[in-house]
Structure 1
Amino acid sequence: MRQGAEDLALELARRHAARATFTSIFDDADAAEAATPDVAFAYEVQDRFVAELSRSGAQAAGYKVGLTTTRMQQMCGVNEPISGVVLGPRVLRSPASVKTADYVRLGLESEMAVRIAPGAGRTGVELQDLPLRHLIDQVCAAFELVEDSGADYGRLSAASIVADNSWNAGLVLGPPIAVGGLAHLRGRRGVLRLNGEAVNEGMSDEVLGDPLNAVHWLASHLRRRGRALQPGQWVSTGAIVPTRFLAAGEAYAFEIDGLPPVELSVS
């Protein structure tokens, strides 16, 4: 018999406290369930795991949308977007710093983040029909921090990542700019630099064709679960540049055309 969502969430919390290597929380399921992981059930586990993380009163500051580019889907062997909750205490402002010793294996994903505008989360509003300036009011370059706990990328499923809050360990926001007269977020080149040297790049179009499509996907996903995006929440739209794993002594900067860079130092 499949374990309940609450029990699985508590087991996830135990594994994180023990700094255990990541394996699917569903590995003990029967053979049929293991062959076809239940993503809907995984989101129920995520809800309870996030509630466990929030016991100290931390509130959701927004969401991450993951696996929104072909490169990231190929890296993880998963062919659909996923989402996770970003808790308020895990939101950092650039320039920020992190310690690798605080994590099992910390990854960095270079993204575009957007802030939901006033009124855009109203029940019944179809976000697809809103002009850019009515959907979001700020945009910035961002780093998502991901804790994969040393996962074997050859043994992943959407459900296993989703249950673990889609591996979100935080969000570093670069200096935001007002959307103002921006017509769209497409066609913007992002360059990741390590200790001042360019190491990778990508285009905002790689994110589901347009970073706003990640917001639309998230809004529809939340609506199906009886929820809605709220004004002031941040949405990290997905990695323009694939994950890099961090080492002490590194300094990263990610700049997207037209946006100030986001910066992170690692010790």
Structure 2
Amino acid sequence: MNLLLNEIVEDLLEAELTKHAITPLTQKYSDLNVTDAYHIQLDVIKKKISTGRRVIGKKVGLTSTAMQKMFGVEEPDYGHLLDDMKVMSEGKVKINNLISPKVEAEIGFILGEDLKGPNVTWLDVLMATKYITPTLEIIDSRIADWKIQLVDTVADNGSSSRVVVGEQLTGIQGIDLRSIGMTLYKNGEMISTGSGAAALGHPAQAIAWLANKLYEFDITLNAGELILPGALSGAITVEASDTVSAHFGGLGSVSVTFE
């Protein structure tokens, strides 16, 4: 990795540690491309792993039209989920450990088999899936004021911060994942609704995209990992004392409180 990319890696790590966001990378470094951004992300993750953290899954972001419009991008991104990012349902998250958090609801996939591209299909994803579970992803940007383009969010681990995992595990047999409904609440007030089809038409299609994208970097989606296929509606901003919950019908519910 060249000196410039290494400097960006250190800047992102420092921003996360100090909770002080940095100038958008696309403003400061106009020549950065998406491949550079993925290498930056991977090096950030390597540095975190070297301190004892462990990868527990991956996430796809910006799969819904709502999220792509919100951030002005035209393709998904991905990030890594680490063990210290996991929060169990009904848990609490300290708002001062974050910069500018938002929450989105997703159908989490727990793999029973490895998936590696190329040419992974959504049917391959379904065959490799052991369970699905309700999740909330807490996204947070180390880029100032969420002024992100695709390069910014990719370098910043897909703007990922925490994943809240529901207690209920459900097998996928006989379930049409496209039609699964989700209702998102903040402090008891319904904010939005969505369905599985919001994630690239089918959440398993989003995971197939991820497996094939990761092939470019010789990365496998491993059995036992939690994979998030993308939000079912737009992200909502949160502050201290807010409680966010998502209800997925027969799949169960998941909630988190900020303090």
Change in 2 beyond 3 A, CA 1:176/1:152: same
In structure 2, the partner of 1:168 is 160
Q: Which runs of 5+ in 2 are unaligned?
A: none
How many residues get paired?
Answer: 258
1:123/1:18 CA distance change after superposition, 3 Å? closer
The amino acid of 2:115's aligned partner reads: G
Give the drift of 1:76: 0.5
Within 5 A, what are the aligned runs for 1:1-267?
Answer: 3-29=3-29, 31=30, 33=31, 37-118=32-113, 120-121=114-115, 126-130=120-124, 132=126, 134-149=127-142, 151-153=144-146, 155-267=147-259
Aligned equivalents of 1:9, 1:138: Cα separation in 2:
34
In 2: Cα distance, 1:245 partner to 1:180 partner: 31
CA change 1:176–1:5 in 2 (3 A) is: farther
CA deviations over 1:83-128 (Å, ceiling 9, x no partner) = 000001211211211111111111111111111113x336778444
Counterpart residue type for residue 65 of structure 1: V
Question: What are structure 1's unaligned runs of at least 5 residues?
Answer: none
SS at match of 2:251: coil
More deviation, 83-92/20-29: 20-29
Give the distance between the partners of 1:222 and 1:79, measured in 2 at CA.
Answer: 18
**Cα deviation, residue 235, structure 1:** 0.7
The answer as to whether partners of 2:103 and 2:139 remain within 8 angstroms in 1 is yes
4+ residue segments displaced more than 4 Å: 122-125
Check 1:202–1:126 CA distance in 2 against 1; reply closer, same or farther (3 A cut).
closer
Paired residues of 2:67 and 2:234 also in contact (CA < 8 A): yes
What is the CA–CA distance in structure 2 between the aligned matches of 1:114 and 1:242, rounded to whole Å?
20
Aligned-residue offset at 1:26 = 4.4
Pairwise CA distance, 1:8? 1.6
Cα distance, 1:243 vs structure 2: 1.2
Bigger drift between 19-28 and 8-17 goes to 19-28
Q: One-letter code of the match for 1:23? A: T
TM-score (normalised: structure 2): 0.91
Determine if contact 2:85/2:162 at 8 Å carries over to the other structure: yes
Structure 1, residues 201-256: CA drift from partner, whole Å, max 9, x if none?
11211110001011101000111211111000011111112111111222121011
Q: Percent identity?
A: 24
How many Å apart are 1:196 and its aligned residue?
Answer: 2.1
Please report how far the alpha carbon of residue 3 of structure 1 lies from its aligned counterpart in structure 2 after TM superposition.
4.6
SS in 2 for 1:54: helix
Q: 1:123 to 1:97 in 2, by over 3 A?
A: same
State which drifts further: 65-74 or 190-199: 190-199
8 Å CA contact 1:138–1:176 kept in 2: the answer is no
SS in 2 for 1:240: coil
